[in-house]
């Protein structure tokens, strides 16, 4: 007979899920209560405040969608886009492609603005597209491309979009809690993220936030939102203000306990401190990886600290190395995605996983394994470079 | 500063979430591993087998959707229905209405076959609708209406649908694990359920299963599924056979640990034993409630053991009584939904909550509280009737 599943204790340094803080796992196992219980409703209100802090926004409609980041993305598109609309998507990786799928499945037209994978989205190209498509209503792009580790200048992009009368949809799945992100200051109208990256939480929920202009558009749609489950006009009735909540769907109670705890942890650390921590450990990891001869694919200026994409050395078997790391070190690093498959490793330093012990483990394990598969590396020197970056 | 949330230990006897088995809460807090980890993929395969057992099906496409039951419902409709289709919906409660919303948001026409709330769906009415609408492609109805506690004869309904060339979509959110349900024997083509009812698990996932005929329809659609997140053509790539899994979305790892444990528990108990347990405790609860003067709204033949809807006595303040039960007894019972709001209480006996101690707690607490708010009840006699039903 099938028995209980007992997972091993991995170190998660891929593109997410990342290591979960034990306090969050413990919170998740607290007793389940009802989704309309007055104490649960009180926690929901706290959660909104904590999410507003994490997103740096005053947006009233700031909630977690009861499903993973992909559903958060879909929430933004199905609510803000109507059939016949034109949406400009700036793509520099896998997730821009997923945005296109979303737009087209809404019966709208996607105007694609392409940038090379591994670079930031180019505001000049966006501006040209906005001029060429005055009918566009919405601009969408990814802040932190999880497939490459490239960061885009959100504020400049949003300013351009607004100057042309468009609302903005921004993917912050990998940035929230890891690098600077300011929803209100930067003019983001709709944003979605995930819990399993820099928030150190288990996967399964998608924090989202909508500006007053976005809410106005949602409330004045000509057509119904095509998804009943993700229709914010209905979801708002459950996550709305005050004690009176209308049942929409049964909230994932224990997953929300976990997210609440993750957000409490973020507030305890302080957002700026969390951003600084990601930068600090990235610098040490970078020193080690580069000394091992691994080169970053993203230009330094556009590089995310929490997602480190490095080229796989010639002749090295991608899957073999990741397999050894997993089996011998319980260490997970990420494979390449899309056109990057087999060409890069994605090494995450996200949330609770972004720690000195993980950086040292990763550099030493990679040094040993690369040597084992025949790459000429100086593992000792790489470790010295890493420690030196920590000032040791 | 906002601090950790510590929920109370409630007894959950509403329409769900129901009490979660402590083994499941513990499983949920096990270490998170990657969604493409070979050990996780192995667990996914086990999960499919366990779900096939729970659903009594050999359907290959038997998986949990990474979101609550409402998303499971939407998964069935957006995958099986295309714009311009005609779908017959037999409605006898709230959730038939939600099915209508789903159908219409797919750009299809919903033909509504109405039955009185609190009764089963009438096969004769379905047959008449099938004859009147030869263009219909699909028939949908609820097996166990959570809003009323009425059960519908699935096999008869499915036989009729098939005789008229329709596929069937069945809502089993409240039935799975609680009462007899046989997907293959009864001819169900698409079914969805929830984790937070008779499976004793935390809310947040929706087990679904699709027959070969349903899969064939999905693979031969003329239009793309309108939801990217719920598109089974893509989801199958992640939940497919063998070791090679394509990334679609990040699975809610820890929630899946919980569901796996819930299904292991169900297999340990045995499906027929679980059904018998629900029937046994229902009979005892019924004896107690009726002795308290509370009458069931569903005719005995159509009554679900796991969801007991009883009329609120004249002059009794619904919210006041539920409030006292929650505050003084930590006992949650459910309010009425839709047209039943304020008129009925819904008392759940689902999964781990379906136990003798809960039945006795509920009868004694309700007896005391009804007396406290001025109803003339004989609480002692009600308890005696309950114990007598247990053979004591």
pLDDT at B181 over 70: yes
Q: What is the pLDDT of residue A241?
A: 62
Cβ atoms A237, A245 nearer than 8 A: yes
Per the structure, the count of domains in chain B is 2
Q: What is the pLDDT of residue B376?
A: 96
**Quick check: is A141 in a domain?**
yes
Cα gap B354→B377, rounded to integer Å: 24
Nearest CA in chain A to B200: A32
Same domain for A370 and A259: no
Last residue of a domain, one of A236, A267, A298: A267
Residue B32 to residue A202, Cβ atoms within 8 A: yes
Q: What is the pLDDT of residue A242?
A: 56
Q: Which residues of B touch A264 (CB under 8 A)?
A: 2-4
User: What ipTM was predicted for this assembly?
Assistant: 0.97
Mean pLDDT on A136-147: 97
Cα gap B311→B290, rounded to integer Å: 11
Cα gap B16→B202, rounded to integer Å: 10
Q: Which residues of A touch B204 (CB under 8 A)?
A: 66, 204, 252-255
Instruction: Write the pLDDT tens digit of every residue in B270-325.
Output: 999 999 999 999 999 999 999 999 999 999 999 999 999 999 999 999 999 999 99
Nearest CA in chain B to A99: B228
Nearest CA in chain A to B105: A226
Residue B39 to residue A204, Cβ atoms within 8 A: no
Q: What is the pLDDT of residue A240?
A: 80
Same domain for A159 and A69: yes
Sign of the Cα torsion A221, A224, A227, A232 reads positive
Whether the upstream peptide bond of residue A44 has omega within 30° of 0, thus cis, is: no
Q: What is the pLDDT of residue B243?
A: 57
pLDDT at A257 over 70: yes
Mean pLDDT value across chain B: 97
Count of alpha carbons within 13 Å of A265, Cβ hemisphere only?
22
Joined tokens for residue B348: 């759940």
Q: What is the pLDDT of residue A7?
A: 98
* Closest partner CB to A203 (pick from B20, B46, B253): B253
Residue count (chain B) = 392
Q: Which residues of A touch B14 (CB under 8 A)?
A: 34
Instruction: Write the pLDDT tens digit of every residue in A49-73.
Output: 999 999 999 999 999 999 999 999 9
Task: Pick the closest to residue B82 from B231, B199, B208 (CA basis).
Answer: B231
Mean pLDDT on A249-273: 98
Q: Which residues of B touch A171 (CB under 8 A)?
A: none
Last residue of a domain, one of A213, A238, A267: A267
Q: What is the pLDDT of residue B241?
A: 62
Q: What does residue B64 show for φ and ψ, rounded to 5 degrees?
A: -95, 130
Instruction: Write the pLDDT tens digit of every residue in A342-369.
Output: 999 999 999 999 999 999 999 999 999 9
pLDDT at B70 over 90: yes
Cβ atoms A360, A11 nearer than 8 A: no
Cα gap B251→A357, rounded to integer Å: 27
Nearest CA in chain A to B15: A34
Q: Which residues of B touch A203 (CB under 8 A)?
A: 32, 35, 250-254
| A and B: number of Cβ contacts within 8 A | 261
Q: What is the pLDDT of residue B338?
A: 86
Nearest CA in chain A to B25: A29
pLDDT at A94 over 70: yes
Neighbour-count burial for A206-221, b at 16+ CB within 10 Å, e otherwise: bbbbbbeebbebbeee
Residue B34 to residue A204, Cβ atoms within 8 A: no
Nearest CA in chain B to A43: B5
Neighbour-count burial for A290-308, b at 16+ CB within 10 Å, e otherwise: ebbebebbbeeebbbbbbb
The CATH number covering residue B304 comes to 3.90.1150.10
Q: Which residues contact B225 (CB under 8 A, 6 or more apart)?
A: A105, B78, B79, B218, B231, B232, B233
Of the listed ranges A214-223, A242-251, B1-10, B161-170, the one predicted with least confidence? A242-251
Residue A267 to residue B1, Cβ atoms within 8 A: yes
Q: Are strands B206-210 and B190-192 parallel, antiparallel or unpaired?
A: antiparallel
Cβ atoms B54, B76 nearer than 8 A: no
**Quick check: is B10 in a domain?**
no
**Quick check: is B385 in a domain?**
yes
Same domain for B262 and B281: no
Same domain for B245 and B319: no
Q: How far is CA A280 from CA A273, A287, A386, B92, B198, in A?
A: 10, 11, 11, 60, 48
Q: Decide: pTM greater than 0.90.
A: yes
Same domain for B180 and B288: no
Same domain for A295 and A254: no
Cα gap A326→A335, rounded to integer Å: 12
Q: How confident is the model at residue A246 (pLDDT cuts 50, 70, 90)?
A: confident
Q: Which residues of A touch B19 (CB under 8 A)?
A: 32
Q: What is the pLDDT of residue A243?
A: 56
**Quick check: is B163 in a domain?**
yes
Nearest CA in chain A to B98: A228
3 state SS of B89: strand
Cα gap B103→B158, rounded to integer Å: 19
pLDDT at A103 over 60: yes
Q: How confident is the model at residue A302 (pLDDT cuts 50, 70, 90)?
A: very high
Residue B33 to residue A12, Cβ atoms within 8 A: yes
Q: Are strands B109-114 and B86-91 parallel, antiparallel or unpaired?
A: parallel
Same domain for A295 and A257: no
Joined tokens for residue B1: 């500063």
Residue B75 to chain A, least CA–CA distance (Å):
10
Q: How confident is the model at residue B76 (pLDDT cuts 50, 70, 90)?
A: very high
What is the domain range of residue A34? Answer: 21-267
**Quick check: is A347 in a domain?**
yes
Q: Which residues of A touch B228 (CB under 8 A)?
A: 70, 74, 98, 101-102, 105
Residue B2 to residue A248, Cβ atoms within 8 A: no
**Quick check: is A4 in a domain?**
no
**Quick check: is A1 in a domain?**
no
A320: enclosing H helix or E strand:
helix A318-329
pLDDT at B245 over 90: no
Same domain for A252 and A218: yes
Instruction: Write the pLDDT tens digit of every residue in A153-162.
Output: 999 999 999 9
Residue A228 to residue B32, Cβ atoms within 8 A: no
**Quick check: is A101 in a domain?**
yes
Q: What is the pLDDT of residue A245?
A: 80
Same domain for A259 and A284: no
Cα gap A190→A87, rounded to integer Å: 14
Q: How confident is the model at residue A247 (pLDDT cuts 50, 70, 90)?
A: confident
Residue A388 to chain B, least CA–CA distance (Å):
31
Instruction: Write the pLDDT tens digit of every residue in A13-35.
Output: 999 999 999 999 999 999 999 99
Q: What is the pLDDT of residue A331?
A: 98
The CATH number covering residue B104 comes to 3.40.640.10
Same domain for B231 and B146: yes
Residue B25 to residue A31, Cβ atoms within 8 A: yes
Same domain for B120 and B224: yes
Which stretches within A137-270 are classed as H helix? 154-163, 183-186, 212-219, 232-239, 253-269
Same domain for B255 and B235: yes
Cα gap B259→A255, rounded to integer Å: 13
pLDDT at B186 over 90: yes
Instruction: Write the pLDDT tens digit of every residue in B314-358.
Output: 999 999 999 999 999 999 999 999 889 999 999 999 999 999 999
Last residue of a domain, one of B211, B232, B267: B267
Q: Which residues contact B198 (CB under 8 A, 6 or more apart)?
A: B18, B174, B175, B176, B177, B178, B179, B274, B278, B306, B350, B351, B354
């Amino acid at each position: 007979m099938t028995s209980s599943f007992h997972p091993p204790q991995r170190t998660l340094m891929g593109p997410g899920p990342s290591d979960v803080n034990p306090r969050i796992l413990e919170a998740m196992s607290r007793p389940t209560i009802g989704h309309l219980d007055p104490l649960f409703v009180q926690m929901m209100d706290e959660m909104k405040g904590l999410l507003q802090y994490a997103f740096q926004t005053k947006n009233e409609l700031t909630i977690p969608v009861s499903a993973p980041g992909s559903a958060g993305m879909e929430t933004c598109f199905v609510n803000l886009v109507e059939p016949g609309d034109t949406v400009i998507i700036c793509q520099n990786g896998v997730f821009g492609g997923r945005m296109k799928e979303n737009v087209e499945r809404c019966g709208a037209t996607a105007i694609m603005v392409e940038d090379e994978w591994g670079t930031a989205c180019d505001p000049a190209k966006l501006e040209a597209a906005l001029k060429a498509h005055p009918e566009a209503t919405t601009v969408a792009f990814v802040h932190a491309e999880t497939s490459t580790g490239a960061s885009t200048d959100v504020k400049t992009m949003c300013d351009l979009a607004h100057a042309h009368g468009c609302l903005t949809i921004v993917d912050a799945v990998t940035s929230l809690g890891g690098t600077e992100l300011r929803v209100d200051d930067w003019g983001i109208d709709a944003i979605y993220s995930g819990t399993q990256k820099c928030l150190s939480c288990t996967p399964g929920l998608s924090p989202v936030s909508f500006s007053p202009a976005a809410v106005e558009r949602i409330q004045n749609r000509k057509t119904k939102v095509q998804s009943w489950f993700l229709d914010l006009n209905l979801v708002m009735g459950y996550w709305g203000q005050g004690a009176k909540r209308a049942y929409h769907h049964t909230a994932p109670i224990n997953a929300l306990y976990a997210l609440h705890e993750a957000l409490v942890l973020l507030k305890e650390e302080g957002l700026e401190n969390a951003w600084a921590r990601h930068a600090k450990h990235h610098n040490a990891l970078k020193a080690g990886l580069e000394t091992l001869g691994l080169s970053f694919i993203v230009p330094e200026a556009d590089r995310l600290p929490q997602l480190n994409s490095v080229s796989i050395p010639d002749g090295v078997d991608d899957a073999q190395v990741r397999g050894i790391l997993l089996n011998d070190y319980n260490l997970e690093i990420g494979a390449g995605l899309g056109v990057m498959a087999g060409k890069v490793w994605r090494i995450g330093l996200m949330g609770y996983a972004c720690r000195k012990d993980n950086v040292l483990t990763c550099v030493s394990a990679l040094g040993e394994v690369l040597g084992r598969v025949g790459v000429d590396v100086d593992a000792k020197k790489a470790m010295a470079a890493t420690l030196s970056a920590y000032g040791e």
